[in-house]
Every structure is written in structure tokens, then in C-alpha cells.
Amino acid sequence: MPDTSRELDALVQLSFEVQLVLTRVAAEFDLSVTQLRLLGILRDRTPTMAQIADFLQLDRSSISGLIDRAERRDLVARHASESDARVTLVELTETGRAVGVEISRAVTRELGGKLEHVAAKDLAAVVRIIEQLAP
Amino acid sequence: MPDTSRELDALVQLSFEVQLVLTRVAAEFDLSVTQLRLLGILRDRTPTMAQIADFLQLDRSSISGLIDRAERRDLVARHASESDARVTLVELTETGRAVGVEISRAVTRELGGKLEHVAAKDLAAVVRIIEQLAP
DNA sequence: TATTGTTATACTCTATAACTATA
DNA sequence: TATAGTTATAGAGTATAACAATA
């Protein structure tokens, strides 16, 4: 087994650089990174509370407050499932969708700017890594 | 300018995968990711409160509580600067250093495990990216 | 005056445990 | 009984504003 400590350090450091960009972009919109992720998840899904918990790898009890706060800001809306009265579905509002689009643009701008001088073939490697990691 | 949205998405996703591993390892030691980073920063430094704020990109007022909690668990110690009475220096305790070593091993194990089947040349690309990004 | 660090305050995020409603 | 979601509670993390001590 080869020594990969340098590679692992680089990966950890890179993840913090990316998180820093996300934190800053979220702050521009007065949102947390978690709320930013939520908007991303809801872009092409209308999940249940439990499914959101699975996506974010958080306890279900944490999701109630998360959605409460997003709902209070008119970013998302709860509605009842028709097939199972226990289930609550969550979807983006128009406002939420619009904010999501703006955030996506901002992330592309900020992160794209940082990566301007990175070789295209190195970025292609990142795509392969994530395909291996989360297929 | 080429379309890099796929690459940017992959990079963001990768950063969340890494953060997930760090969150889990930190939780093994009943620590937050921020405390984990703090131990990493102090491994080869004895910074001032202000320098820690710079490293973590947090407000100085946030650092007081962070160090309070770490000190309460005997992971770090404050001591006064000899040259400037306003300044507080922070260093690892022996306990903190030992915990840091264990965390480092756990991250290597967990993250290394996840990356087992990733090509070495793709990991080398990550090293080049972070060198470009944070030289 | 400027800088270092702390405190008070308020909010978000998160988990655990206990609960209600529905299946 | 089992599952979906909520609430109460507690603690960490974070920023803003105001402050004291030192330079």
C-alpha cells in the first residue's frame, strides 16, 4: 500500500477551500451552507422529510427546524402526501427556486474564478474521483 | 471559456464527501469539525487568538468560546505573550497532541478506505489543484 | 488612537428523548 | 407494532456590538 498522506492532506485542504467559498456565497444570501444544500436538493426533487434527512445525513428531528426556518423565509413549502397521511413532502417555492438559481450562478462565478488557472485535465480527475466515490 | 459546471459540481460534491468523513471521525472523539481543525492547526504552531481566527476565517469573538471549550477538555492551553501583554498564545496540551495523532490516523484510515479504488494519478491531480489554489 | 481579546446577546444547527398520529 | 414527523431540551458554533486592557 502506497503512502497517500500527501494526497489525503490535499483532499482535505481542498474540501475546506470549497466549503469556504460555499460559506461565503451562502452568507451573501444570508443563508447557512445547510440551507444552500437544501435548495440544491430540492431543485429537482420533492422529497419527504425523511428523505431530506437521508440526503443531508442528519437526524430527522434536525430537519423539522431546518424546514421551519426555510419556510419562514418563503424558500420552501410543506404539503401533505396524498397516499400516506403521516408523510410531509417539501418543495421549493418560486422564491426558493429563484434564489437557488442565483446561488448556483454565484458558486460558479466564485469557484470558477478560483479554478481559473487549474488545468482542465486535473479537474477531469475530480469528476472521475467522485464517480468512484459516490457512484 | 469552457463549460466547467460538471467539474464544479463534482468538486462541491467531493468536498461534502470529505466533510462527511471528517464529521464522522470528529464525532468518534466527541468533537466538532472545527475542534478537529483547531487541533490540526496547533500541531506545528503556537498562534495567537487573532491568528487562529485568520486560519479558520472566523470572527475573533468566535475563537474565545472555541478555545474555552477546548481548554475545558484539556486539549489546549492559553498562555500570555511575554512581548505584548494584550496577546494570548494557544498551544496543544499533551492530551490534545495525543488526540490529534489519533484523529490523524482515523482520517487516514477512513478517507484512505474510501479512496482505495481511485487511480493514483487522479489523486495526484488533487495535489496539483490545491497547489494552484492555495500556494 | 489602534489593537487584542472578552463578554453579552441572538440566532442557526444538531442530537437525544419523548411524544402524536397514522399505517 | 412500526414508521413519519414534531417538540422540548441542551449544547456547539457563529456574528455583531460594546467593552477593558494594553500598545
Residue A89, phi-psi category: left (phi > 0), alpha (psi -120 to 50), beta (remainder): beta
Q: Give the 3-state secondary structure of residue A88.
A: strand
B11/A132 CB distance under 8 A:
no
A112/B17 CB distance under 8 A:
no
Mean pLDDT of A84-98: 98
| A31 phi and psi angles, rounded to 5 deg | -120, 160
Within 89-118 of B, beta carbons closer than 8 Å to A belong to 107-108, 111-112, 114-115, 117-118
Q: Give the 3-state secondary structure of residue A77.
A: strand
pLDDT tens-digit profile, chain B (135 residues): 456 789 999 999 999 999 999 999 999 999 999 999 999 999 999 999 999 999 999 999 999 999 999 999 999 999 999 999 999 999 999 999 999 999 999 999 999 999 999 999 999 999 999 999 887
**What single string gives the DSSP state of each residue in B66-125?**
HHHHHHHTTSEEEEE-SS-TT-EEEEE-HHHHHHHHHHHHHHHHHHHHHTTTS-HHHHHH
Q: Give the 3-state secondary structure of residue A57.
A: coil
The position carrying cell 496539483 is B128
Of the residues B3, B38, B114, B133, the best mutation for testing chain A's interface (the one with the most A CB atoms within 10 Å of its CB) is B133
- Residue A134: pLDDT band (50, 70, 90) is confident
CA–CA separation, B116 and A133 (whole Å): 9
Q: Which residues of B touch A124 (CB under 8 A)?
A: 7, 125
A133/B122 CB distance under 8 A:
no
Residue B3 is predicted with a pLDDT of 65
Q: For residues B37 and B63, is the Cβ–Cβ distance under 8 A?
A: no
In the predicted structure, residue A8 carries a pLDDT above the cut 60: yes
Stated pTM of the model? 0.94
Task: Provide, in whole angstroms, the distance separating residue A134's CA from nucleotide C9's C1'.
Answer: 42
